[in-house]
């Protein structure tokens, strides 16, 4: 019988199944299930900050996860409350600038976990943040500090582990109670609805094997006194191996991200039993799944191609996207595809006991109970779009973002040109038209191209291909470095550009992200499109500053010019600063130049 037929027949046969509860839950399978679950008390949950000692290895985040009150408040409801969501941005006295789905959320979560209110001013930033996570609110943390995001990742690990253990403890208690009863009424059965369709409850989407290595080791560290199966294999496949030698010119954020095993194709299941943490468990037998977007997308696509299913993500209750800014540099389409496949009605039953499935799972409302947590160095349009479409949590959403000081140079002339774009889908055409009809004639007439040393930076590979074809058609002397350029072609383009043989160099954001080249011979920088990471802007200006220091370019002749539209608001704010961007917004002309300093 297919899953759909089985689900349809479940409602009509519910009372009959309940009257035969002794046969529905035979003693032997119950004893087997008990071995698959571990009481919360058997695996200690990390507590730091206000409620426990801190050894200095982890920034304080308070009593991070052990909160059964919040668990019941969030999950033990018949259906998710239906209310209109209107995002509003406010300034919180502790958290700073935040965007919330409901302003009341700021006061509702300002408690100590037991319901006792605590003024927001009286608690630390970390403690406040941990309360939103523990109360199953969707959280998007945009913080450029790697140390803060690492501490936040540890908080999510503890929260996810405690969620799995709390769920298993409830299932065990209810299974024991039902096993002792031969009959039970409908109310009693509804009170025992404590499961989803499949076992996996927590999904970590991570950018590299090294990040997975760190997360899994933290989970193992929380499970003190428990054996770990397949640890040697895990260390061999995910461990750092031989240390990578990084050039001194590489920035710290580059070294931090690409340290260890930076492979972005992986997936692994983690199963928690009474005495062990088992790695490399099959997904349908796992409690926690950790995967890269590419690794998980390949499984989903392969299952669809072979007539299988991806039901193992149908009952995910906590989703964590780690380093979303790095995931964007890999392939954001995979992330969106995964979220679109999550919390759907499964295609097969997978030995599910439907009398124990929560009602909101059966009604197809699981997405309204899933907690989505995002960690990123900065917000970008794709994250906002993803949260708008897939953050349906009835407990609400909070986004924490920064007030940016900006990355402008106090010495070099920087001009930002605003061009009118009424539709983001038409934005590439608007840029190309302005570039070919306005910028190029200005360069030709002013001798900018003949001078050489012109670095053209683009955030989109497709725009780079379009510009390359245009330069070929118009007979320009140029080089091209993108994320797909071979090492030999990169070396040739860099050498020819530095010597002046190439007058123009096309350079993409992904190429800079993955390679962080130190380009020589730059005399002018043109941002065809703005970099998402403000650090990249600082480094591009650094190329120009280095040429001035070496005497290859004069300060008065060197300039940074950038094109932007209204759809680049987040990028512009990070580069010119929040105060500078507020000043720029006051002028909404079709084409306006803003010059700094």
- Strand ordering across the sheet containing 288-291: 88-92, 96-100, 397-400, 138-142, 371-376, 318-321, 202-205, 288-291, 267-272, 276-279, 227-229
Kindly state the greatest CA–CA separation across the chain: 91
Is 507 contained in some domain? yes
Is 377 contained in some domain? yes
Residue 554, phi then psi, degrees to nearest 5: -95, 145
Is 23 contained in some domain? no
**Contacting residues for 255 by C-beta, under 8 A, at least 6 apart:** 246
506, 494 Cβ separation under 8 angstroms: no
**End of a domain among 369, 400, 431?**
400
540 conformational bin, left if phi > 0, alpha if psi -120 to 50, beta if neither = alpha
Angle between helices 209-222 and 146-179 (to 10 degrees): 50
Is 407 contained in some domain? no
For the record, the structure tokens of 16 come out as: 């009959």
In 3-state terms, what secondary structure has residue 117?
A: strand
Q: Do 218 and 313 share a structural domain?
A: yes
Q: Do 477 and 373 share a structural domain?
A: no
Q: Do 260 and 180 share a structural domain?
A: yes
Q: Do 454 and 374 share a structural domain?
A: no
Q: Do 89 and 53 share a structural domain?
A: yes
For the record, the structure tokens of 261 come out as: 């095993």
482, 506 Cβ separation under 8 angstroms: yes
Is 232 contained in some domain? yes
Is 312 contained in some domain? yes
Q: Do 464 and 360 share a structural domain?
A: no
Q: Do 351 and 290 share a structural domain?
A: yes
Is 146 contained in some domain? yes
> pLDDT per residue over 465-484, tens digit each?
999 999 999 999 999 999 99
**End of a domain among 340, 374, 400?**
400
Residues of the chain with pLDDT under 50: 1-4, 6-7, 9-65, 112-115, 117-122, 186
> What pLDDT, on a 0 to 100 scale, did the predictor assign at position 380?
94
> What pLDDT, on a 0 to 100 scale, did the predictor assign at position 146?
87
Q: How is 138-153 classified by DSSP, letter by letter? A: EEEEE-S-HHHHHHHH
Q: Do 272 and 139 share a structural domain?
A: yes
**Containing structural domain, residue 204:** 3-18+28-243+251-400
For the record, the structure tokens of 57 come out as: 């290895």
Total domains present in the chain: 2
Question: What is the distance between the alpha carbons of residues 250 and 514, in angstroms, rounded to a whole number?
Answer: 11
> What pLDDT, on a 0 to 100 scale, did the predictor assign at position 67?
61
For the record, the structure tokens of 70 come out as: 């919040």
> What pLDDT, on a 0 to 100 scale, did the predictor assign at position 96?
85
80, 369 Cβ separation under 8 angstroms: yes
Q: Do 396 and 274 share a structural domain?
A: yes
In 3-state terms, what secondary structure has residue 281?
A: coil
> What pLDDT, on a 0 to 100 scale, did the predictor assign at position 140?
97
Residue 164, phi then psi, degrees to nearest 5: -60, -45
Q: Do 439 and 342 share a structural domain?
A: no
Is 293 contained in some domain? yes
> What pLDDT, on a 0 to 100 scale, did the predictor assign at position 281?
96
**End of a domain among 400, 421, 439?**
400
CATH number of 538's domain? 3.40.50.300
Q: Do 419 and 302 share a structural domain?
A: no
Geometric angle at alpha carbon 449, from 443 and 455, rounded to 5°: 100
Q: What share of the chain is helix, strand, coil (3-state, %, to 5)?
A: 50, 15, 35
Residue 410's alpha-carbon distances to 116, 414, 525, 546, 559, in angstroms, are 50, 9, 16, 15, 12
491, 465 Cβ separation under 8 angstroms: no
> What pLDDT, on a 0 to 100 scale, did the predictor assign at position 22?
36
Q: Do 432 and 354 share a structural domain?
A: no
Strands 276-279, 371-376: pairing kind: unpaired
């Amino acid at each position: 019988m297919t899953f759909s037929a089985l689900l349809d027949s479940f409602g009509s046969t519910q009372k009959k199944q309940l009257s035969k509860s002794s046969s529905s839950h035979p003693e032997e399978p119950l004893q087997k299930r008990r071995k698959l679950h571990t009481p919360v008390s058997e695996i200690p949950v990390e507590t730091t900050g206000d409620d426990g000692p801190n050894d200095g290895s982890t920034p304080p985040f308070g009593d991070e996860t052990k909160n059964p009150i919040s668990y019941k408040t969030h999950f033990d409801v018949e259906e998710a409350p239906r209310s209109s969501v209107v995002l509003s941005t406010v300034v919180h006295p502790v958290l700073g600038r935040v965007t919330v789905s409901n302003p009341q959320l700021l006061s509702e979560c300002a408690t100590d976990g037991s319901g006792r209110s605590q003024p927001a001013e009286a608690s630390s930033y970390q403690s406040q943040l941990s309360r939103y996570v523990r109360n199953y609110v969707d959280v998007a943390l945009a913080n450029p500090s790697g140390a803060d995001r690492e501490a936040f990742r540890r908080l999510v690990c503890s929260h996810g582990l405690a969620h799995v253990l709390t769920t298993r403890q409830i299932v065990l208690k209810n299974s024991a109670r039902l096993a002792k009863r031969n009959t039970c009424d409908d109310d009693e059965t509804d009170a025992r609805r404590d499961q989803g369709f499949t076992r996996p409850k927590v999904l970590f989407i991570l950018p590299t094997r090294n990040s997975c290595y760190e997360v899994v080791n933290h989970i193992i560290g929380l499970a003190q006194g428990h054996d770990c199966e397949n640890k040697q294999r895990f260390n061999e496949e995910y461990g750092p191996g031989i240390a990578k030698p990084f050039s001194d010119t590489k920035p710290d954020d580059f070294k931090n991200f690409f340290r260890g095993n930076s492979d972005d194709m992986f997936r692994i299941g983690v199963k928690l039993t009474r005495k062990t943490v088992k790695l490399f468990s099959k997904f349908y037998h796992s409690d926690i799944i950790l995967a890269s977007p590419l690794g998980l997308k390949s499984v989903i696509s392969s299952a669809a191609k072979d007539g299988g299913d991806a039901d193992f993500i149908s009952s995910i209750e906590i989703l964590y996207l780690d380093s979303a800014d790095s995931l964007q540099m890999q392939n954001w389409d995979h992330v969106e595809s995964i979220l679109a496949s999550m919390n759907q009605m499964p295609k097969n039953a997978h030995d599910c006991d439907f009398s124990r499935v929560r009602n909101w799972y059966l009604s197809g409302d699981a997405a309204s109970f899933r907690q989505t947590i995002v960690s990123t160095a900065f917000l970008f349009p794709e994250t906002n779009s993803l949260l708008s479409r897939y953050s349906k949590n009835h407990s609400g959403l909070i986004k924490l973002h920064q007030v940016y000081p900006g990355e402008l140079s106090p010495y070099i002339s920087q001009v930002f040109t605003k061009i009118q774009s009424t539709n983001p889908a038409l934005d590439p055409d608007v840029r190309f038209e302005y570039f070919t009809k306005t910028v190029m004639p200005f360069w030709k007439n002013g001798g900018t191209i003949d001078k050489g040393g012109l670095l053209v930076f683009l955030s989109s590979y497709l725009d780079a291909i379009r510009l390359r074809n245009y330069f070929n058609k118009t007979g320009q002397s140029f080089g091209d470095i993108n994320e797909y350029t071979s090492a030999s072609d990169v070396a040739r383009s860099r050498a020819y550009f530095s010597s002046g043989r190439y007058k123009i160099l096309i350079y993409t954001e992904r190429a800079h992200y993955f390679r962080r080249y130190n380009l020589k011979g730059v005399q002018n920088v043109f941002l065809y499109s703005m970099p998402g990471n403000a650090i990249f802007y600082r480094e591009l200006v650094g190329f120009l500053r280095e040429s001035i220091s070496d005497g290859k370019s004069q300060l008065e002749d060197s300039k940074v010019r950038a094109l932007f539209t209204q759809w680049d608001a987040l990028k512009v704010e990070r580069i010119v600063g929040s105060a500078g961007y507020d000043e720029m917004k006051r002028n909404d002309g079709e084409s306006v130049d803003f010059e700094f300093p």
